[in-house]
Structure 1
Amino acid sequence: MFEVREKPQLVERALLVRLYFDPREEEESEALLEELGELVSTLGIGVVEKVLARSREMHRKFLCGTGKAAEIVELAKAHQCDCIVIDNQLAPSQQREWERAADLCVIDREEVILDIFARRAQTKEARLQVELARMQYALPRMARMWGHLDREGGSGGGQGGGAARGMGEKQIEVDRRMAHVRIDRARRELEDVRKQRATQRKERERMETPHAAIVGYTNAGKSTLLNQLSGSDVMAKDMLFATLDTTTRKIELPDGQPLLITDTVGFVRNLPHRLVEAFKATLEEAVLADFLIHVLDATSPEIERFHETTLHVLGELGAGDKTTITVLNKIDRVSDPDRLAELKRLFPDALKISATTGLGMPELLQKCSEVMADRVRRRRYRIPQRRADLIGMLHRDAKVLSTEYEENDILVTAVVPAAIAGRLEEFAC
């Protein structure tokens, strides 16, 4: 069976390495190495040491020079590590060279993220997306996964010897063919799921209900915000990539207008392109939303870079020009006046909220109402009782504020979406 090689459960000690090649990249490389530590810890693997190493130039064999690679290998052995995790993206050949030199499991940042996604995926769509991304990642690395891959199978048939039968098909060729079959099947199944999602989306569009998507860096508090706004119980934990499956909830804005809010998967720096591609079906909720709520972690020293990363990924998805409400979450945990002033300077239009305590929620809901103000009108109608279809439409697609009966007419006051207001214009009073 073709699988990404699973790390054994005995992996407990990992050495983390980040290689950089320009002195100007040192500070950012430190931050990326710290983030890698959080990612690895999310897998339940202990980090024994983090190594930030500079190489004068990139090398084909190890990415860094052989001397630097030997130092890292010796350090890993001295710490009795089970695994070396390299933050840089490794080519399959480089990964094989590292494992040959260290005689240890060596993985890169992309494989770490893939493993996290594989553990967190819950819905069929997310599982299919993860499976597709993992298989695409593993295909060029199959030669390092098993020792049996150079076996040759006989061609079968006939009474002659090996010379008569000819060279058989190598086991690695069989496994690669199986891999391509599974990749094609996953793509077909994922396309079916996407068609189902499109059908559900058309139903929402038919109802004319406005839609907002919560976006932001991983662990910024998006799921907690959805829970606070909707009173739901979406899993919200202080960990990276707690949410992989989109969740949509319906809320009511202060002006009575209904609003659908969707929680989306968090972004991360150096997110592998294949994952952006694989999760487009999930992330397209951000593309198709009427507006975005961009959640930033006010306590993070990396807030500017996280902000830039999210904007970059949204641009890749085609959602870079969406109307966006920016919110500074966890503001209740920032007490330093200088830091608050700095956040005000960096994000002058951002709303200050706490998704945990509910601070700033009324202001956020009011801002959502303002963004969608052109979508609704408060009107009063006199509708004949025989037009029960219009009354039903108001209750279904609008917010009915009051209902009175006068002779054979029904007086209705409602907050009405602009999309259906024209159909009721002759009954306005």
Structure 2
Amino acid sequence: MANRKYLGEDADLTRLPVAFLVGVQTQETSADEAQDLLAELAELTDTLGLPQAGSCLARLREINPALLLGSGKAKEIIEQAKSVDADLIIIDEMLSPVQQRNWEELSELAVIDRQEVILDIFAARAQTNEARLQVALAKANYDLPRLTRKWTHLHRQRGMTGGMGGRAEGEQQLELDQRQLRDRIAKLGRQLEQVRRQRDVQRSKRLREPVPVAAIVGYTNAGKSSLLNKLTEADVLVENKLFATLDPTLRRLQLPGGLNLLLGDTVGFIRKLPHLLVEAFKSTLEETRLADYIIEVLDASGGDKLPAFHQTTQNVLKEIGAGLKPNITVLNKIDLVPDKLHRQRLMRKFPDAIMVSAKTGEGLPELLEKLVEQSTAVMREMRLLVPHDRYDIMKTIRNRCSIDQEKYNELGVELILRAPESCQEMLEEFLL
């Protein structure tokens, strides 16, 4: 996955670009949180396959519109990066296009932010056509306001003069690049809309089954795919890497007692997840929004970072309109927490959570019991009377509900059925 695009034109392209990482402690983050985020940035950089020469942590007291950090601090960081022969500075915040360009002009090195690192990882991980289109759209929207920066960088590399000829050539090329990228964004949008329509058709067919749907969500690398595999014995890609799953995976699980459940595994969340990606992955995240309930998976071995992981997941769920759905919290990887006192502390923090190990199977019977309870709760039993003049609703009822009893009389049709949460409100007017 290692990307050589960050090397200068005259660099040795047989080697990998070396990164220098910059953590940023804002007014809202403690020193410990900032260190955690910097360690996470190091993991992200590892996932990209880039070697690291060093790192530092900078305090942000006041935002500098030109560089984010103060100019003195920026120069100090650049000096540190150059002293360890770094080719690339990665800043653990979102830089504006102007700030990114100013950093590169000041340092004469490639400078990227956390957003670009995550986008590059997503681009490398995308497996299906839909995921590739979603990542390409997010990347194109990210690149569009940064084309000036890229042309300036090329201009400097080629040693062009600042005269009228050089400027005119640059402006013409910039206009051409912008037009081409806008055309590409429009084309990607059309292609993605077509894929979304296909997904809607598939989803509508699936929703005809009277089967509850649960979405497995959580922080990246929490073990969501491993848990799905353990529960359903499915062959879903499992890697101990960030963002190993980008495409939604749906599997059927027969619960104790015979009730069926559809389980969906989707993209992992992360702190400072670029909004561009949330927007681009809307059709994928739609599976979560339309689920009957949520299974949030947390890495039990995450230590003090667990509350932040939980909060990040809850924030993304709110952003996509799934924040109020019924929620089961699962503390996975409990096999990595053998200490009884540590487990007790976890239960105090997450009193309603179920401790499991997708590796050893510990806690899975308790989880299955909880899934039965929650799935039964969302499949509400209803007694209805549908009048003769509302038989139009019967097709939906037959497609979406499990009918236990159907009796016709002079008033219409009397039904006893079990309905998933997604169509309960629609049926309220027919309640007996």
Question: Runs of 5+ in structure 1 lacking a partner?
Answer: 151-165, 378-395, 398-416
CA-to-partner distance for each residue in 1:150-179, whole Å, 9 max, x for gaps? 8xxxxxxxxxxxxxxx99971111110111
Correspondence for 1:271:
273
8 Å contact 2:215–2:287 — kept in the other structure? yes
8 Å contact 2:298–2:306 — kept in the other structure? yes
Cα distance between partner residues in 2 of 1:65 and 1:168:
30
Q: Which of residues 180, 183, 191 is equivalent to 1:181? A: 183
CA-to-partner distance for each residue in 1:370-416, whole Å, 9 max, x for gaps? 11225388xxxxxxxxxxxxxxxxxx99xxxxxxxxxxxxxxxxxxx
8 Å contact 1:286–1:319 — kept in the other structure? yes
Correspondence for 2:336:
333
Q: Which of residues 29, 34, 38 is equivalent to 1:29? A: 34
Correspondence for 1:198:
200
Please state how far the C-alpha of 1:237 moved relative to its aligned partner. 0.9
If each structure's helix is expressed as a fraction of its own residues, which one has the higher value? 2
SS at structure 2 position matched to 1:51: strand
SS at structure 2 position matched to 1:107: strand
Cα distance between partner residues in 1 of 2:132 and 2:123:
7
CA-to-partner distance for each residue in 1:201-232, whole Å, 9 max, x for gaps? 11011122221110000000000011111111
Q: Which of residues 32, 47, 67 is equivalent to 2:52? A: 47
Correspondence for 1:296:
298
Correspondence for 1:110:
115
Correspondence for 1:95:
100
Q: Which of residues 337, 349, 364 is equivalent to 1:361? A: 364
- 1:7 aligned onto 2:10: no
8 Å contact 1:149–1:171 — kept in the other structure? no
Please state how far the C-alpha of 1:419 moved relative to its aligned partner. 2.5
Within 5 A, what are the aligned runs for 1:110-149? 110-146=115-151
Correspondence for 1:211:
213
Q: TM-score, normalised by structure 1?
A: 0.82
Correspondence for 1:221:
223
- 1:419 aligned onto 2:382: no
User: In 2 relative to 1, CA 329–424 (structure 1 residues): closer, same or farther, beyond 3 Å?
Assistant: farther
Q: TM-score, normalised by structure 2?
A: 0.81
- Give the aligned length: 373
User: In 2 relative to 1, CA 352–66 (structure 1 residues): closer, same or farther, beyond 3 Å?
Assistant: same
SS at structure 2 position matched to 1:128: helix
Correspondence for 1:236:
238
8 Å contact 1:227–1:234 — kept in the other structure? yes
CA RMSD of aligned residues (A): 2.6
Identity of aligned residues (%): 51
8 Å contact 1:325–1:350 — kept in the other structure? yes
Cα distance between partner residues in 2 of 1:177 and 1:24:
40
Correspondence for 1:386:
none
8 Å contact 2:216–2:224 — kept in the other structure? yes
Q: Which has the larger radius of gyration?
A: 1
Cα distance between partner residues in 2 of 1:24 and 1:42:
25
Instruction: Please tell me the residue identity of whatever aligns with 2:283.
Output: A
Cα distance between partner residues in 2 of 1:184 and 1:168:
24
Question: Runs of 5+ in structure 2 lacking a partner?
Answer: 8-12, 156-167, 382-397, 409-413, 417-432
Cα distance between partner residues in 1 of 2:29 and 2:246:
34
- 1:305 aligned onto 2:305: no
